[in-house]
Amino acid sequence: MRSIEILMSEHRIIERALSLLELAVTRIERGEDVPLEVLNKLLEFFQIFADKCYHGKEENVLFPLLEQRGIPREGGPIGVMLYEHDLGRGYIREMRESLEVFNKPIEAKDKFKNNALSYISLLRDHIYKEDNILFKMALMVLTRDDDEELLREFEEIEKKMGAGVHEQLIKNLDNIENILR
């Protein structure tokens, strides 16, 4: 099903960004300088690509449709996924806050590091569950027409993000990779 394939391929891009965040944390731990610009760009990626766009597709389009097809929200996998999206937003907020005072108190670096590590493990585990549990359930309940509908709605979300935003954010990851490696 094309719509689920798209979501899974975007998971691979998010995982790439998580590895870059992990690399940035390792460099900070070693006491090396990581340009603030790089950390800001990584957070921008997670806020826009992962949260606003990707989680937008799930929360506004896929999950409501799965509920209509009988997969429960409360006490079921969708509720767990929504809860984890919120947890992730909390970690991003904390990382943002710590970046604002990054070079002043030493605790700011620790706060960034701890929230980054929590975010990385949360999202990797979350992606694993979606790929291997929720999306497998989706493939069993969604129809061909549902797939078409999802593709149309995903297209709308991409359009609302603005022309070229998606590509630009992926290009930023290439730049970050060059700086960090």
15 CB neighbour count, 10 Å cutoff: 15
If the CB atoms of residues 63 and 112 are measured against Fe ion, the closer one turns out to be 63
Structure tokens at 142: 């969604």
Closest separation between CB of residue 126 and Fe ion, Å? 6
If the CB atoms of residues 41 and 85 are measured against Fe ion, the closer one turns out to be 85
Count, residues near Fe ion per rule CB under 5 A:
2
Closest separation between CB of residue 48 and Fe ion, Å? 15
If the CB atoms of residues 88 and 112 are measured against Fe ion, the closer one turns out to be 88
Closest separation between CB of residue 101 and Fe ion, Å? 30
Q: Give 39-61 as a DSSP string.
A: HHHHHHHIIIIIIIIIIHIIIII
Closest separation between CB of residue 5 and Fe ion, Å? 16
Q: Which of residues 87-146 bind Fe ion (CB under 5 A)?
A: none
| Backbone angles phi and psi of 31, in degrees to 5 | 80, 10
If the CB atoms of residues 99 and 138 are measured against Fe ion, the closer one turns out to be 138
> Any idea what DSSP says for residue 131?
I
**Closest listed residue to residue 23, CA positions, set 48, 42, 37:** 42
Q: Which of residues 66-85 bind Fe ion (CB under 5 A)?
A: 81
> Any idea what DSSP says for residue 87?
H
Contacts of 142 (CB under 8 A, 6+ apart): 1, 3, 4, 65, 66, 69, 150
DSSP count for the chain of H helices, then E strands? 9, 0
Closest separation between CB of residue 83 and Fe ion, Å? 10
Q: Which of residues 44-63 bind Fe ion (CB under 5 A)?
A: 58
Residues found near Fe ion in the complex (CB under 5 A): 58, 81
